[in-house]
Copies of this chain bind each other. A is one copy, B any other.
Amino acid sequence: MYQPQALSALGSFLGQRLSTSKSDLDLHGQSESYFSLSPPDAVAYPQNTGEVQKIMRICAEHDMPVIGWGMGTSLEGHALPVNGGLVVDFRLMDKVLEIRAADMDVAVQPGVTREALNEELRATGLFFSVDPGANASLGGMAATGASGTTTVRYGTMRDNVLGLQVVLADGRVIRTGGRARKSAAGYDLTGLMVGSEGTLGLITELTLRLHGLPEAVSAGVCAFTRNEDAVNTVLDTIQMGIPVARIEFVDTATAAAFNAYAGTNLPACPHLMVEFHGSPDSVAQDAARFGEVAADHDGLGFQWSTKEEDRRALWAMRHNAYYAILASRPGARAMVTDVCVPISRLARAVTETQADLAQASIPGPILGHVGDGNFHSVLLIDPTRPEELSEARRLSHRMVKRALDLGGTATGEHGVGMGKLEYMEREHGEGWDVMTTLKQALDPQGILNPGKLIRPV
């Protein structure tokens, strides 16, 4: 079909950086989640924006699907080439281009990972705040609209991307946003591109907001007898304006998975893990106030520290939650649910979900960025048993339906991809048609990441 001519045109300037090896195709045809293998026709490794532009023009000429690829850590199958085509892997575009400490911003290529960026920033006193757990690429994080543990204080990718360079479906290269902290100069194209999951363009450069490293940090963990007590502690903490930088919930099953995976010794009950950023005085006061709130909800003693090693151990444990939970059922794949509700509805959403899971035939430990009203169940599926995938779908469906009934969203941070397509109509009504209209306006051929986010054609 299109492949021979398209691949020949691509190979003419990419050379060895165009791959059709089986291992490469298989690697870019899988995801971290429960979706089936779906390999592309080829994988390109561009080195600069000009090459991405050439790639896009050739693919447009041959009606060849183009799918961006960062670190492959997305959970809803965003980067799976379900119609074949070309995966554009940004791993060679991994330069931190310019750190502008005085303006607290940085220009990066899309293949830089968030950990690599923070490593480069180490000497500046600044950091990049968005932290989804996985060491994702920044281009992928922008495309997905990622968030994570620090969002309650520092915001999501939408809040932290100041500007983008994007290659559009027709090969035009645009710059959106800029370096001013705010602008009212027309439609917010940056905001439109962030979270568009590669369906409107390929991100080839990002300008990101940085934050000053706090002078002091305190962090700690508190066990609770009942889930409701933990969740109500979160509600009161937010409403009292105690400035948490992170506030994470893990249920009993997750705590057990941590103990097995990381050799920790958490009691068999739900926990909150919290962090405060500020001055030495303020982080001590914040921790003390939080401790009082937790005690009011029968918290079983809040242990906190300002030592970096304690904090690192705490968050390393939290960051490995996905892998710890996976390891709790050897050989399992995971379907990770991702609902977000108004915080006043959080206790109800979590309690009813727990009740569902208690009746379920598969395990689904719960954890979440509860300061935003966002939580996940990591549903563990034996891939050899199709009835377990059905059971996971049933549980996920109930969670999403409940979240929408409570005024929430089908996905707080993981995105639509393919896994949440079926809820877009329910959540957005005719707004989903508007998204389709925008997609058709910017990508009339439909070559950019087909099968994702938009109603399948």
Contact = CB atoms under 8 A, between A and B. Distances in A.
B188 A192 contact: yes
Interface in A112-130: none
Nearest to A440: B441
A179 B212 contact: no
A145 to B, nearest CB: 4
A447 B368 CA distance: 45
A178 B434 contact: no
A416 B186 contact: yes
Interface string A242-282: 00000000000000000000000000000000000001011
A191 B182 CA distance: 13
A172 interface: yes
A212 B241 contact: yes
A103 B156 contact: no
Given A192-B188, A343-B103, A408-B180, A429 B174 contact: yes
B435 A187 contact: yes
A435 B176 CA distance: 11
Given A172-B430, A431-B175, A187 B180 contact: no
Interface stretch (A65-73, A384-392, A420-428): A420-428
A235 interface: yes
Interface string A91-106: 0000000001011110
Nearest to A420: B185
A344 interface: yes
Given A174-B429, A373-B180, A412-B180, A434 B189 contact: yes
Given A178-B407, A181-B372, A373-B181, A344 B412 contact: no
A174 B431 contact: yes
Contacts of A100: 342, 344
Given A102-B343, A235-B102, A241-B212, A408 B178 contact: yes
A263 B364 CA distance: 68
A194 interface: yes
A187 B179 contact: no
A187 B178 contact: no
Interface in A380-403: 403
Given A186-B432, A438-B441, A342 B105 contact: yes
Contacts of A63: none
Nearest to A187: B435
A184 interface: yes
Q: How many copies does the complex hold?
A: 2
Contacts of A173: 430
A301 B424 CA distance: 58
Interface in A356-378: 372-374
Category for how many chain A residues contact B: 35 or more
A434 B174 contact: yes
A139 interface: no
A168 interface: yes
A412 B195 contact: no
A409 interface: yes
B235 A412 contact: no
A182 B412 contact: yes
A410 B340 contact: no
A415 interface: yes
A137 interface: no
Contacts of A159: 159
A415 B188 CA distance: 12
A180 B409 contact: yes
A431 B176 contact: yes
Contacts of A279: 285
A188 B191 contact: yes
B342 A183 contact: no
A286 B147 CA distance: 30
A147 B423 CA distance: 34
Interface string A322-338: 00000000000000001
11 contacts: A103-B342, A174-B428, A178-B409, A179-B342, A183-B411, A185-B415, A185-B428, A186-B435, A192-B438, A282-B282, A438-B441
